Amino acid sequence: MYAACTMPTVRPATPEDEEGIVDLWVGLTTYHRTIEEVWPKRWTGPRETWRANLLKLLRVVWRDPARQVVFVATNDKDIVGFVRAGLYEEGPVLAHIETLFVAEQHRGAGIARALVEVAERWCRERGADEVAIEFIARNDLAKHTYQRLGYRPFLVTYMKRLAEQEEA
């Protein structure tokens, strides 16, 4: 399905990695827009808005390294994948893998597995004994990837815009 490539290095991300991470993240958001019709308003608008919002999320990670982390997979100088994880006191599961993305040309080489494993280890080292992953409902690729990694369905989230009645 995808071309094989050498296994990249997985390491903790730094603020110097922001542009590479955001470039991939915009790619993930673009893909999501092709498979899903329902979007929270904060995920709409021009790509520049997406980039600004994603940079804000990354900067929260840099400010709270005890509770949030991003790992990147690098192939020489390029970032080819990333995973973002966090610990939360609220909710049913302490640890969450918030975002996982591998560039299309690097899929099938075990990069997603390596990124998830390092994120799980990070969570475990901070006292988590469970980790949850959320993804766009229609993202069958993500569903199959997470199932191969041992994840099973737990919660289902539905979303409705409260202003829908007025817009109709």
Higher pLDDT, 162 or 16: 16
Cα(94)–Cα(124) distance, rounded to whole angstroms? 10
Over 80: is that where the pLDDT of 73 sits? yes
State yes or no: pLDDT of 56 exceeds 60.
yes
State how far the Cα of 112 lies from the Cα of 71, in Å rounded to an integer: 11
Beta carbons within 10 angstroms of residue 52's beta carbon: 12
Say what the pLDDT of residue 132 is: 93
Q: Is 53 among the domain residues? A: yes
The residue that leads in pLDDT, 157 or 112, is 112
Domain count, the chain: 1
Q: Which two tokens stand for residue 61?
A: 């990670």
Distance CA 54, CA 61 (A): 11
CB 32 within 8 A of CB 136: yes
Q: Does a structural domain hold residue 147?
A: yes
> Is 2 a domain residue?
no
Q: What percent of the chain has pLDDT over 70?
A: 82
Any domain includes 36: yes
pLDDT at position 3 over 50:
no
Its domain, for residue 89, covers: 9-167
Cβ partners under 8 Å of residue 58, min gap 6: 15, 18, 21, 22, 70
* 0.85 exceeded by pTM: no
Distance of CA 107 to the CA centre of its chain: 15
Is residue 145 helix, strand or coil?
helix
Q: What CATH number corresponds to the domain at position 123? A: 3.40.630.30
In a domain, 4, yes or no: no
Tell me whether residue 3 is in a domain.
no
Least confident interval from 16-30, 52-66, 93-107: 16-30
Q: Are 54 and 14 within 8 A, CB to CB?
A: no
For residue range 116-132, list pLDDT tens digits in order: 999 999 999 999 999 99
Tell me the C-alpha distance between 94 and 87, whole Å.
Answer: 6
**Does residue 147 carry a pLDDT above 50?**
yes
Task: Kindly tell me if the per-residue pLDDT of 42 is higher than 60.
Answer: no
